[in-house]
Structure 1
Amino acid sequence: MATHDKGSAGSSAFSDDSFYSGGGGAHHFDDGTIRAGSDVTSPYDSTTKSFDTTAYTPLDVSTVDNRDDDDLFADDRKKFGWTAGPDLGLLGLRAVLGGIFLLHGLQKVFGLFGGPGINGFAQSLEKMGYREPTVLAWVTGVTELAGGGLIVLGLFTPLAAAGLLAVMANVIALKYKGGFFGPNGVELELALAGMAFTALFAGPGRAALDYNRSWFRHPLAAGFIALVLGAGGAAVTFFVFR
């Protein structure tokens, strides 16, 4: 099949008129040959029935599509995937951290496992110089109980971890003068605070009820928001109620 330019030899409105010489224009054939006075040499050799490619740069093999699928626009890059190691580690961290606070909450709220109960804990807070000790006893006990349970389940993990971190911040502020080691030291509180901080920003892992929720997909942003709320609660408890 051939196409023929029917334009005149003179100038016209077409920008490619300068390509043509003479009044008859040029014929373009499928075999790559350009005739009618053109000086362009055809890359097709009718004798060998092949194209001369010496003037062409060979196609880089890296650009050749060797995929078996029919979708030429599919992204074949390996997608990021979670590994079982971090998920298992976070599950263990949550079990220990949440379990400890769950038991402490049961001690403070219900007096189980040899705990003081609300009244006994309120008396302890009053001796530490806190005002409204009964209210603070309930707030602290419920925070530990609910926060520990939520951490174990991996539900609302940023808020739960921030609440536990706020409780530990107050305890450390009260006990830090007793040193790091010993009965009055803060080594245990620092360890629990570090675990809560880890859960706050690392998230609960895939083995959790939070899996694929919005705060699970954006752990850094959710962690910072929860940290600000927890820090505010800890500051109010320590500086306002004491």
Structure 2
Amino acid sequence: MTQKIFATDSDLTGFVTRLTIGLVMFPHGMQKVFGWFGGPGYANEMRFFTETLHIPWLVAFAVIVIEFLGSISLIIGFASRLWAGAMIFLFIGIIFTEHVDHGFFMNWYGTQKGEGYEYHLLIIGLSLATLIRGSGKYSMDRILVTNK
């Protein structure tokens, strides 16, 4: 099982998909943990999730961990299949808890009450490709697998 999580080849597909997800999600994780990029920081984010959105603390904690550790792990290519799977579950949850009522399209012109879920589908698609292909070239997974 562990071997399958880290298994990858040296193609660029896994590299491009995991790096794209990681770089897009990295600022979100930093917002939630450290308050960077105008974010709330860990304590305020946990309070928002649990008190405002009424999300159980364990789920709120998992969201923060996936966005923080998941983005870093995807950037370096460590256990990318695992983190890609976590991103898929995270973004399916985000769609159904916050965005499905606002339709497909993002709120480019400020004419909707909220944001649609098209961006979320892109992350799910990239994550699915990473889940299937693995970390690819320039990854910690490749180093771990080829050194055995």
* 1:1-80 correspondence to structure 2 within 5 Å: none
Hey, what's the Cα distance between the residues in 1 that align with 2:77 and 2:96?
28
Matched positions, count? 128
Q: CA deviation at 1:193?
A: 1.1
Q: Which residue of 2 aligns with 1:196?
A: 127
The structure with more helix, counted as a fraction of residues = 2
Q: CA deviation at 1:171?
A: 0.2
Q: Which residue of 1 aligns with 2:14?
A: 90
* 1:1-242 correspondence to structure 2 within 5 Å: 87-125=11-49, 126-132=51-57, 135-174=58-97, 175-183=99-107, 184-211=115-142, 213=145
Query: How does the TM-score come out when normalised to structure 2?
Result: 0.75
Hey, what's the Cα distance between the residues in 1 that align with 2:22 and 2:72?
6
SS of 1:155's equivalent in the other structure is coil
Q: Deviations over 1:91-119 (max 9, x none)?
A: 22222111122221111011111011123
Q: CA deviation at 1:207?
A: 2.3
Distance 1:171 1:141, change over 3 A: same
**Superposed CA RMSD:** 2.1
SS of 1:173's equivalent in the other structure is helix
SS of 1:213's equivalent in the other structure is helix
Hey, what's the Cα distance between the residues in 1 that align with 2:137 and 2:32?
31
Please tell me the residue identity of whatever aligns with 2:137.
R
Does structure 2 retain, via aligned residues, the 8 Å contact 1:158–1:199?
A: yes
Question: Which structure has more RCO (C-alpha within 8 Å, separation ≥ 6)?
Answer: 2
Does structure 1 retain, via aligned residues, the 8 Å contact 2:21–2:126?
A: yes
The structure with more strand, counted as a fraction of residues = 1
SS of 1:119's equivalent in the other structure is helix
Query: How does the TM-score come out when normalised to structure 1?
Result: 0.48
Q: Deviations over 1:54-107 (max 9, x none)?
A: xxxxxxxxxxxxxxxxxxxxxxxxxxxx7x7xx223322222111122221111
Identity rate of aligned residues, in percent? 28
SS of 1:107's equivalent in the other structure is helix
Q: Which structure's CA Rg is the greater one?
A: 1
Does structure 1 retain, via aligned residues, the 8 Å contact 2:13–2:133?
A: no
